[in-house]
Amino acid sequence: MKRVIIFDFDGVLADSLAPMLSYAKQACLELGVDKTPTQSDLEALDRMEFSAFGQQLGIPGNQIEVFVKRNHQLFSEREEPIQIKTGMGAVVSALAEDNTLAIITGNSCMQVEKFLDAYQLLEKFQTILCAEHEGNRLEKIHKVQSMVDSQITDCYMIGDAISDIRAARAAGVKSIAVSWGHQSKEKLSQEAPDLIVDVPEDLLRYFLGDHRI
C-alpha cells in the first residue's frame, strides 16, 4: 500500500540537538541575554519553532526575529552536515521504495538539502517545505497532501514534538512520535499520538509489516 509519510527534520532525521543548543546560546550572548539553553527549554515548548524557543529563553519580543535569523545563519554557515540519526538513512531508503516521502521543517531549505545530499537521500523526498515556505505546520501538511496522487489516502506525520502530534490530528492524518528527538517520550505520550517508536527500525517494522493504526 502506498502512503504519504511526512518527516519532521530536526530531532527526527537530523541529530541536531547539540548544534541547536550551541547556536541558540551564541545568539543569546549576541543579543545580551544571559542564558544557557538546555534540552529542558525545548521540552517546555508547545510549538517547536525557533521563535517559540527564543521566547522560552527570554529573548525580548522585539528581538525574536533577529534571534530566529541568527540561528538560521549559524546553521547555514556549518561546513559539515548535521549528523544523521543512526539508522535513519536505511529507513528512509526502504520507505521511499513504495511510499511518497516529504519533509516539513522550521529549518532552512539550504540546510535540509545540504544534509540530504550528504547522505544520498535528496532524491528520496518528493516534497520539502521549510522555513522559507509560507504557512504553519497544519497548512503545510495540507499542502503536501494536495501535491501528491489524490488516490493516496493514508498519510502519516512523523515528529519529535507535541506540536507535530497536534498538527497531524488537526489535519486528520496519523501521528507517529519518535522518542529520540527534542522532547521526551513522557511529554509526547501525554499528547496521545497514534504510535510512539523508540528506534528508527521500529518505523520499518511498522510500515513494512503493513500494520494499521
Domain ranges of the chain: 4-15+82-208, 17-76
Instruction: Look at residue 32 in the predicted model and tell me its pLDDT.
Output: 96
Instruction: Look at residue 175 in the predicted model and tell me its pLDDT.
Output: 97
Instruction: Look at residue 128 in the predicted model and tell me its pLDDT.
Output: 96
159, containing H or E segment: strand 155-159
Average pLDDT over the chain, rounded to an integer:
93
Please give the class, per CATH, of domain 4-15+82-208: alpha beta
Instruction: Look at residue 136 in the predicted model and tell me its pLDDT.
Output: 92
Whether residue 152 is predicted with pLDDT greater than 80 in this model: the reply is no
Task: Identify the burial level of 132 via C-beta atoms within 10 angstroms of its C-beta, where 0-12 means exposed, 13-18 middle and 19 or more buried.
Answer: exposed
Nearest CA-CA partner of 105 in 77, 81, 72: 72
Mean pLDDT to the nearest integer, 75-81: 88
- Fill in the amino acid letter for 189: S
Q: What pTM did the predictor assign? A: 0.92
Q: For Cα atoms 4, 178, 74, give the angle at the middle one, nearest 5 degrees.
A: 90
